[in-house]
Structure 1
């Protein structure tokens, strides 16, 4: 049995000497090195976590980084309780505790600089993290050199409605920016489509297949995918038939999109 608890929290961004800040960009990750040693007596290896806050942080002072972490606890085949090393380390931190961090790292998921772009975000579970960072910059902050005037479209897939992370934040963004933000949830254990099929992220996208395909033919449309690897295959299946109607080989077209940095994937 697997117990999944999701936590959002802030880490103060000071280096090991307690001086200075750690600058990062929307879409990057930081490494966390858990305390203690592994079964071989060596220090634990770092784990990478996508950053869930904009470059100036949730408090706007560039001194914190927000993470979205799923605590992993399960019972193995021998009946032993196993705890994920880093997720439990992070979820058990208390205010004032220290954590060793590395980075930031990552170029694959960097937010587009074009304020007029169409940005399609496909996330499952804690894969929502980089998209929260994008959306905070777009809709919760004011910048002299950046004002988002394009279209942000978020598809978030989860097993149950209780797993919809940051739901209230996103709904507030949509309420205030109805022309610039579209929001679609796919709750697989609670929702079905017209055919009675479970509502996975690719199932929800299929409802807008023609519209999404038209957007993908534009030079200023950027797609970002973060979360479970399984959704990538389902999305390809949708696009193959749509592209074929225009005489286009989807897999070849996707290679072109990747080359132009319009198709960005970070799955696990």
Structure 2
């Protein structure tokens, strides 16, 4: 979804904005804001710094009472018509800002709509020209989804890979359609395990930055891969990850599935 801001909401890649849906809650009070990761670069999808884009999944499910429940903000946004107005706040967030080093290795781990901040990164790296920034490093994206129809921005990413094969690597993990050699479902950590030693070597470099965005459970699966690899080098992974976080090389934005 692309929103016109008339340039009044400047932001950086990796930040979020708040959306306040119309109407009131069950107590008759205005709805509280919901945060969404920005899916566009600072220049926006039209390159004029006057828009902001979001990646929104409509939340609808049946609860234990058999009642149909709709997420307030996601349905509000998905039901909007072109030209409608929306209340936006922000931007906020500094944890997911991309590194300034144009020669860095940037490993991006996403599930579902957690792809949003990485689309913003990749647009700046590969779809835009900047006088003060030219990406010369390696960007490696792992995207985990349940079905191939959930591979958001797939064509964009494949175009980037085709155009910049030396600077962009792309790996999908489609859990309901793909399996590994053992017949196990292909989750994001399963796909990463295929490159485990290579990823560990990259993580030992001081210009490698890891970004993780998506459902909360994904971090544990990735920890499980790294524990044994680090141990083989006599390194305690949990302590090493703590140091990576301290040096801003390990950046995580994960969430539970709230009714939003």
TM-score by length of 2: 0.95
Shift of 1:73: 1.1
Alpha-carbon RMSD? 0.6
- Aligned pair partner of 1:245 in 196, 221, 232: 232
How big is each residue's C-alpha offset from its partner over 1:138-189, in whole Å with a ceiling of 9 and x where there is no partner?
0000000000000000000000000000000000000000000000000000
The alignment covers a number of residue pairs equal to: 249
SS at match of 1:90: helix
SS at match of 2:47: coil
How big is each residue's C-alpha offset from its partner over 1:182-235, in whole Å with a ceiling of 9 and x where there is no partner?
000000000000111100000000000000000000000000000011110010
SS at match of 2:185: coil
Point out the more displaced range, 69-78 or 188-197. Answer: 69-78
Shift of 1:79: 2.1
User: How far apart are the structure 2 equivalents of 1:183 and 1:96?
Assistant: 35
User: How far apart are the structure 2 equivalents of 1:185 and 1:75?
Assistant: 29
| Poorly superposed stretches of 4+, deviation over 6 Å | none
Q: Unpaired segments of 5 or more residues in structure 1?
A: 1-19
SS at match of 1:74: strand
8 A contact 1:51–1:65 mirrored in 2: yes
User: How far apart are the structure 2 equivalents of 1:80 and 1:253?
Assistant: 46
How big is each residue's C-alpha offset from its partner over 1:83-139, in whole Å with a ceiling of 9 and x where there is no partner?
110000101111111100110000110011110000000000000000000000000
2:115 is the counterpart of 1:114:
no
How big is each residue's C-alpha offset from its partner over 1:21-75, in whole Å with a ceiling of 9 and x where there is no partner?
2100000000000000000010001000000000010000111101000001112
SS at match of 1:138: helix
Shift of 1:248: 0.3
User: How far apart are the structure 2 equivalents of 1:93 and 1:51?
Assistant: 18
8 A contact 1:21–1:62 mirrored in 2: no
User: How far apart are the structure 2 equivalents of 1:244 and 1:76?
Assistant: 43
8 A contact 1:68–1:129 mirrored in 2: yes
Shift of 1:77: 2.1
Provide the residue aligned with 2:3 in structure 1.
none
TM-score by length of 1: 0.92
8 A contact 1:31–1:101 mirrored in 2: yes
8 A contact 1:51–1:130 mirrored in 2: yes
- Aligned pair partner of 2:63 in 76, 81, 99: 76
SS at match of 2:49: coil
